[in-house]
Chains A and B, each alone.
Chain A
Amino acid sequence: MTALGFCDVRVSYNGTEAVQSFNDLLHSGEWLCLIGPNGAGKSSVLRAAAGLVSYTGSIAIDQTEIPATSARWRAQHIAYVPQSPLIPHDMNVHDYVLLGRNPYVGHFSSETKQDREIIHGVLERLDLIEFAQRRLGTLSGGELQRLVIARALAQEAPVLLLDEPTSALDIGHQQQALELVDKLRREQGLTVVSAMHDLTLAGMYADRLVLMHQGARVAEGSAREVLKPNILSEFYGVSARVHHEEDGTVVVIPQRTSTR
């Protein structure tokens, strides 16, 4: 079943086309990872789906086109984790995750008991329950990343968009965050679209990679198919070795070009 569909999606800023006709169909529970150099249009695709930039074409969830005017409907179906979330340092963890229930709360009403129960469940599942009253300013980078994912889960949306979810984390927390997303996707059938710079990690977790360059899709497939030295050299301008592990992991190792 198609969970998320992009049909001729184009994004332009002041006349410059940042995304040229993006088409894709994701089945439920699939993890698609957008890769590509800076400015390739990865974030713009995610921001279009999150309703943060205007686009032409259509984006559909379960074959229903997202209505352009309803931010609420969109937020009930798509949860978005930005690259660098704005963290209000004096807000506490419980209140922050509670913001994820916003798409279900009327303009002038407040959260119901059911909303609070859902938050409780999310906090428990992500091992954040003992942090509930902690202020965000006292949390570490890894804890904050988990918290932002918790807020996205509180939206109970079938689609999760992650913009550079690991760029600010150390290698251990990168692995933790991605394992968490992978586990949630398997348990709850979340459909995930992420933009990532770390090609090895991208290939390791995603079902499918799409390489973008100057707003266009230039390569697509499994890690084995996309992460090839000639492709990487052409679009990233990098000279890299690609190493294939026995378990199927594709490792991209940039090479030093200057003499030692």
Chain B
Amino acid sequence: MTSSTSTSASHNRYWFALAGALLFVAMIVGTMIGPAGPTWWRIPLEFANRLPFIHVNSGVSKADWNIVWLIRTPRVVLAAIVGSMLSVSGASYQGVFRNPLVDPYLLGVAAGAGLGATLVFAFQRGATENWIIDPLPLAAFIGALVAVLVTYVVGTAFGTTQSSTTLILAGVAVTSLATSIQAFILQRNTDVVRQVYSWILGRLSSATWGDVRLILPYVVLSTGVLLMHRRLLDLLRVGDDEASALGTNVRRVRLIVVLAATLGTSAVVAVSGLIGFVGIIVPHAVRLLAGASYRVVLPLSVLLGAAFLVFADIPSRVLANPAETPIGVVTAFFGAPFFLFLLRTRNSSK
């Protein structure tokens, strides 16, 4: 046994090291590219210079450094946080619903957040500019949480069986309801359609350290809770009945995981809009590469999800320079073919 388990353990260490390295490279490259700012190769030097006990003359001016530190770096950090949260939530949802096609927006997060944001845009966005707290992320966050809460209450109240199908169907109903209300409001306020549309496609362009500070507590909390459930997500793979017979309260596990994933997803959606595809493609890429055990899939999704979105954000900055290409467009445009490629190489090698 020692030989059999140690091979898989060292196999996993190899993937974790690779994913960690990839994330590091992504973040460095992410801070090096963009319109304006210092010459790209000077930036890593300046970062090194700012580490304790290291002195390098990078030749980066104070003003240039501000561009890097106050505009690019928070954007890169936010992309990493959003990417990891969406990926780990997606993987967790796929686990508790035993459905590989599920994404973290399943139970109404997207529609709820979209409705919340639409309401803010429709009610005189201009008037809120001087408010101390920007109501947009708050409204999106609350909209997402309320939608999932309604889904959960309705889904479990009407669900006579132990199955999760009722919950998913309730999610579909709540999503349709929220979307129809949103469409109605947009119909009445056609002048904000463009703003709402751009919010829906997701964006990281206006990221600040404030955004990072705002969502970090939620993301840390929910990622922590989800990672602690990785063993139980493996247990759920044998079905609700067998998992119960093996001594676990399946409903309680599902509730905790859904709540944690929803909290984190709502937080990141509130600041970044709806960035699609990440929550499906990253967990699946991880499964294809490193196996299907959630003990590996969850932590690896955190790292690779972060790296993926940081990389995806780079073309979103440069493709239509100086305009921004919505990040949701980039994730789908580059993610989908890459995913098909992975699927093909993996299947042919078996």
Q: Contacts of B247 on A, CB cut-off 8 Å?
A: 71-76, 102-103
Q: Kindly provide the distance from the CB of A135 to the nearest chain B CB, expressed in whole angstroms.
A: 9
Is B28 among interface residues, defined by CB-CB distance under 8 A? no
Q: Kindly provide the distance from the CB of A219 to the nearest chain B CB, expressed in whole angstroms.
A: 29
Is A198 among interface residues, defined by CB-CB distance under 8 A? no
Q: Kindly provide the distance from the CB of A125 to the nearest chain B CB, expressed in whole angstroms.
A: 13
Is B217 among interface residues, defined by CB-CB distance under 8 A? no
Is B191 among interface residues, defined by CB-CB distance under 8 A? no
Taking CB as reference atom, which chain B residue is nearest A88? B237
Q: Kindly provide the distance from the CB of A70 to the nearest chain B CB, expressed in whole angstroms.
A: 8
Give the distance in Å from the alpha carbon of A129 to the alpha carbon of B1 in the complex: 8
Taking CB as reference atom, which chain A residue is nearest B231? A110
Residue contact A107 to B241, C-beta cutoff 8 Å: no
Query: Which one of B4, B239, B246, B292 lies within 8 Å of A133 (CB-CB)?
Result: B4
Q: Contacts of A120 on B, CB cut-off 8 Å?
A: 1
CB interface residues, B 232-259, toward A, < 8 Å: 232, 234-235, 237-239, 241-249
Which of these binds chain B: A20-28, A31-39, A79-87, A174-182?
A: A79-87
Is A243 among interface residues, defined by CB-CB distance under 8 A? no
Residue contact B235 to A102, C-beta cutoff 8 Å: yes
Is A50 among interface residues, defined by CB-CB distance under 8 A? yes
Residue contact A50 to B1, C-beta cutoff 8 Å: no
Is B220 among interface residues, defined by CB-CB distance under 8 A? no
Is A95 among interface residues, defined by CB-CB distance under 8 A? yes
Q: Contacts of B244 on A, CB cut-off 8 Å?
A: 50-52, 71
Is B293 among interface residues, defined by CB-CB distance under 8 A? yes
Residue contact B234 to A99, C-beta cutoff 8 Å: yes
Taking CB as reference atom, which chain B residue is nearest A89? B292
Beyond A86-B239, A132-B4, A133-B7, whether A95 also contacts B245 by CB under 8 A is no
Beyond A94-B5, A107-B232, A108-B228, whether A52 also contacts B241 by CB under 8 A is yes
Is A116 among interface residues, defined by CB-CB distance under 8 A? yes
Residue contact A75 to B228, C-beta cutoff 8 Å: no
Q: Kindly provide the distance from the CB of B275 to the nearest chain A CB, expressed in whole angstroms.
A: 28
Give the distance in Å from the alpha carbon of A98 to the alpha carbon of B247 in the complex: 13
Give the distance in Å from the alpha carbon of A120 to the alpha carbon of B5 in the complex: 11
Q: Contacts of A107 on B, CB cut-off 8 Å?
A: 232
- Measured CB to CB, the residues of B under 8 A from A are 1, 4-5, 7-8, 228, 231-232, 234-235, 237-239, 241-249, 287, 291-293, 295
Q: 13 other contacts beyond A88-B238, A99-B234, A103-B246, with CB at 8 A cut-off?
A: A51-B244, A52-B241, A72-B247, A82-B245, A87-B238, A90-B287, A99-B238, A99-B246, A105-B231, A107-B232, A111-B231, A119-B1, A133-B4
- Measured CB to CB, the residues of A under 8 A from B are 50-52, 71-76, 78-80, 82, 85-88, 90-92, 94-96, 99-100, 102-103, 105, 107-108, 110-111, 116-117, 119-120, 123, 129, 132-133, 155
Nearest 4 Cβ contacts at the A-B interface: A75-B247, A103-B247, A86-B239, A90-B292
